[in-house]
Amino acid sequence: MSLGKQLIDWRRELHRHPELSGQEVETTARLRQWLSAADINILPYDLQTGIVAEIGKGSKHIALRADIDALPIEERSGVAFSSQNPGVMHACGHDVHTSVILGAALQLKAREADLQGRVRILFQPAEENFGGAKSLVRAGALHDISAIFGMHNEPGLPVGAFATRGGPFYANVDRFVFRVTGKGAHAARPHEGSDAIVLASQLVTALQSVASRNINTLDSVVLSVTRIEGGNTWNVLPESVELEGTLRTHRTEVQQNVKARVGEIAAGFASAFNAQIDITWYAGPTALVNDERWADFATSIARETGYETQHADLHMGGEDFAVYLQHIPGAFVSIGSASPFGLHHPAFNPDEALIEPAAHYFSQLAEKALHHI
């Protein structure tokens, strides 16, 4: 069987059997089986899910990372190998990332005697809940590693396209929850209460002014309310309403300024409406900051291996690969997947033609990076 067909078969098997973050037990077992069959050394890290392998010998170490978890989405892609797990889907393409890095591992194994060091392969769980990278770091998977590389497929780019950038790339991710507490009342006698729905509605509108009027327009900011919940019947003003949403930035200073302004707006509305607004912030991954040198190096290898390279735009999504880059230098890259539907969409369907060339790219990147550390 050709390498390309093997990688697509593996990708489809992973796609049929997706597992949520922290539950990737069968996925881990499959990876262990495939790596063992290729005589690739599996390292004995203490991990509940996920697996780490290593190829080569010597004192130089670089790492490649793939993420392996899926999303709580009911698939509607219509492909013959659709998810067999109801309500779970590889809607972000982690099955593709895994097959790419598996392919790179097989190619590196075939040239193991010629490698000028070791390549550690991280098949990371729980990227979607931003916990997996931290678990691998705690387990020691970055020990002795000098540089790390990873990828995300990019549905907005054609197959054969490559993009990355030095410096900030993916965004800080914060989740917020507002608990708006007024005073309930009969809908016919609103003057006897303090209407939490009216307050919440005005608060949503006011928050939109933060990015447009309080932050330098040259800085990247997304502040979005994504959920509103309140009330349980038609003729009662509810006592409380809950709002939930996300803040995305690329600079810590901007992040803190937005949080401070949001707090001021909430306090002002609470006073004006004789109500209470409690805000809880939940931190996701920090901004992903590529090392300039390794981003340039990754681009040069992409050009050598036949990609059309371009300078990536700032990305407002979150990516826990950022955790690794807080510890060691490296680069995260985008590879075109040409899906007509975007990431996290139930009809997401990346073009499998990207897999074999990307596997070759990462094997070359790893092998040549060992000469530059």
Reduce the DSSP state of residue 63 to 3 states and report it.
Answer: strand
Q: Is 92 annotated as a binding residue?
A: yes
Q: What is the mean pLDDT of residues 311-327?
A: 97
pLDDT at residue 75, rounded to an integer: 98
Instruction: Specify the pLDDT at position 93.
Output: 98
Angle between helix axes 196-209 and 252-272 (nearest 10 degrees) is 150
pLDDT value, residue 367: 98
Is 344 annotated to bind ligand?
yes
User: Which ranges of the chain would DSSP assign to H, the alpha helix?
Assistant: 3-16, 25-37, 94-110, 132-139, 196-209, 252-272, 292-304, 321-327, 355-369
Considering the chain, tell me which residue range(s) the CATH 3.30.70.360 domain(s) occupy.
172-283
Would you say residue 1 has pLDDT above 90?
Answer: no
Average pLDDT for the chain: 97
User: Is 128 one of the annotated binding-site residues?
Assistant: yes
Asked if residue 371 belongs to a known ligand binding site, the reply is no
Q: Report the pLDDT value the prediction gives residue 266, as an integer from 0 to 100.
A: 97
Band of pLDDT at residue 249, cut at 50, 70 and 90: very high
Q: How would residue 78 be classed by pLDDT, with cut points 50, 70 and 90?
A: very high
Q: Where are the alpha helices (DSSP H) in 328-354?
A: none
Q: Which pLDDT band holds residue 279 (cuts at 50, 70, 90)?
A: very high
112 labelled ligand-binding = no
Q: What is each CA distance from 243 to 177, 213, 249, 325, 344, in whole angstroms?
A: 6, 22, 20, 32, 22
pLDDT at 325: 98
For 3-62, write each residue's pLDDT tens digit: 999 999 999 999 999 999 999 999 999 999 999 999 999 999 999 999 999 999 999 999
Q: Which two tokens stand for residue 104?
A: 């790179």
CATH architecture of 172-283: 2-Layer Sandwich (3.30)
| pLDDT mean over 229-248 | 97
How far is 158 from 249, CA to CA, in rounded Å? 27
Span 242-249, average pLDDT: 98
Q: pLDDT tens, 153-175?
A: 999 999 999 999 999 999 999 99
Q: What is the pLDDT of residue 92?
A: 98
pLDDT in the model for residue 258 = 97
Locate CATH 3.40.630.10 in the chain: 3-168+288-372
Nearest to 299 by CA among 335, 263, 271: 335
Nearest one of 51, 95, 133, 119 to 339, comparing CA atoms: 95
**Highest CATH level, class, for 3-168+288-372:** alpha beta
Which tens digits make up the pLDDT trace of 161-218? 999 999 999 999 999 999 999 999 999 999 999 999 999 999 999 999 999 999 999 9
Spell out the residues 6+ positions from residue 11 whose beta carbon is closer than 8 angstroms to its own.
95, 96, 98, 99, 352, 355
